[in-house]
Each structure stands twice: as structure tokens, then as C-alpha cells.
Amino acid sequence: MTRSASISRSTKETRIQARWDLDTAGDSAIRTGIGFFDHMLEALAKHSGTTLSVHADGDLHVDGHHTTEDVGIVLGQALRQALGERMGVERFGHMAVPLDEALVTATVDLSGRPYLVYDLHPPAAMLGTWDCELIPEFFGALSDNARCCIHLHQQCGRNSHHIVEAAFKAFARALRQAIRITGSDTPSTKGMLA
């Protein structure tokens, strides 16, 4: 059975439709209206070995905050739904990804308990039209709604593009490990993930 989920969310600020298929690596279709954010979500899909579809219409005339956070909410909900009871998943994932002078590590625990540790320091305020202040908003919303623990740590780096892209790729590769089916039971001594 394919682990996938489709989620739609409509508010006065955003309208978002997303589908996340965890078991196939295909052509992803991303359109949020924020170029650099699209680029990062494409990297997330590619390096996690999944297929991702995101269509977002947001109030970008205000700024990118609502769109970024709401995409994180929807993707978190899709990931949580696609994982189901999380039976047999590896649960943990860890990856260090270099991008030229930048090195970022990501660790993921599909624990059922949301928590984000965000330790990135991109020096630029903006990447294209995307405010770097919104990066932890995205990962926080994703973590809360997927009910998973995410640690992102910048080991080194001076170029903001490199730092942020390394972070998304590291998260994607760690997620790829964590969602992999490697058993048949609940990966917890408690007998449940939560």
C-alpha cells in the first residue's frame, strides 16, 4: 500500500493544496509564488526520494509569512497522515550535508512528539523574495503538524543560499532514512509513538 496523503487548507490568507507520496520518487510540482521557497521544496522532494505536489495562493502582497507557515502546516499534516501508525518505520534519521563552504546537519525523530531545534544563521535577510526569518516558521509548522522532532545545526558557512539549501537537503536525507520501512512493529519500547 502506498503511503500518501492529499491535504487542502483554505483561510482568508492562503489557499493550499498538497499531495505527498512517500514511496515513489517522481516529478514534483511546486508553486508557492515564492521562487526560493519553491527551489527548497523541490530539493526536499528530490533528496527525500518522495513525490511532492504543492499549489499555494497566498497574500504575497503582504509578505511571505502566511504562505510559508501554512505550507509547513499542510505538509506536516500530509506527512503525518501518509505515515499512518508509523508501523515498521526506521523512525530516526541523521545526515550532514555540505554545500561548498556550508555544512549543516539534520536529525529527525518520527516520535509523535513535535519539537524543533533551529540553529541556522544565514547572514542575509532575504533570499530572492523569501525572508530568511521565515525558515524556522516553515520547519516549526512542519514539525508541529507532522508530530516529529527536527534538529537543524549549522556547522559552518558564510553564504546564505548555501546554508539554507544545505539545511533543506540535510533534512530531506534524514527524513528519507526515518520514513524507510525496516521492520513490522512500532519502533518504541512504549509500544506506541506519541
- The predicted structure's pLDDT at residue 41: 98
What DSSP string describes 37-48? HHHHHHHHHHHH
Round to whole Å and give the CA distance between 14 and 51: 22
Where do the domains of the chain lie, and which CATH numbers do they carry? 4-179 (3.30.230.40)
What is the pTM assigned to this prediction?
A: 0.96
Contacts with 77 (C-beta within 8 Å, 6 or more apart), sequence order: 5, 7, 9, 145, 146
Q: Model confidence over 66-79: pLDDT tens digits?
A: 999 999 999 999 99
The secondary structure of residue 132, as a DSSP letter, is G
Q: Model confidence over 105-134: pLDDT tens digits?
A: 999 999 999 999 999 999 999 999 999 999
